[in-house]
Amino acid sequence: MAPLDNPFEAALSLVEDLRKETPLILLDFHAEATSEKIAMGRMLDGKVSAVVGTHTHVQTADEQIFPGGTAFICDVGFNGAHESVLGREIQPVIRRFIDYMPQRFPVAKNLWRLNGVVIEIDNDAGKSTSIERLSYPVENPDAAGSEPKKV
């Protein structure tokens, strides 16, 4: 095995092994480029139940079921303060882009949102029948306790 396997070849190999045990496979593809995520989803269409992207923090609006029954979205988005730059306080990030100097990036506190998807999957076939994107405001858990509540 090479120190850095090609993620597409690795995914095909892992999925082939997993399908011997179950048709219910969800791939969380933690990657930057939408082209890579779409290519991975298309390559695995019909072989896995869902391919959902993470990492960019920005929820995309491309949720869909591919022809082979694989649910897909480029990025499910992040849970946390959205009056922010990807969950961090705004001004330090702006300063960093202007002066290139190291900055602390404290976690932002305002306008919390919960982002994600709900996917319905046929248990026997492992095919997805629907994918619904969720994004709604929640109370700041620091102010309300440990459980975010929908507002």
Q: Return residues touching Fe ion (CB under 5 A).
A: 55
HSE-up of 146 (CA within 13 Å, CB side)? 0
Structure tokens at 33: 């480029």
Nearest to 55 by CA among 40, 77, 71, 81: 77
Shortest spacing between CB 126 and Fe ion, in angstroms: 27
| Minimum distance, C-beta of residue 75 to Fe ion, in the bound complex (Å) | 10
Report yes or no: 117 and 79 within 8 Å, Cβ to Cβ: no
- Least Å distance, CB 43 to Fe ion, is 21
Looking at beta carbons, which residue is closest to Fe ion? 55
Which CB sits closer to Fe ion, 57 or 113? 57
Which are the contacts of 144, defined by CB distance < 8 A and separation ≥ 6?
none
Tell the smallest beta-carbon distance from residue 55 to Fe ion (Å).
Answer: 4
- Residue number, 47 or 82, with CB nearest to Fe ion: 82
Pick the closer one to Fe ion by CB: 42 or 55: 55
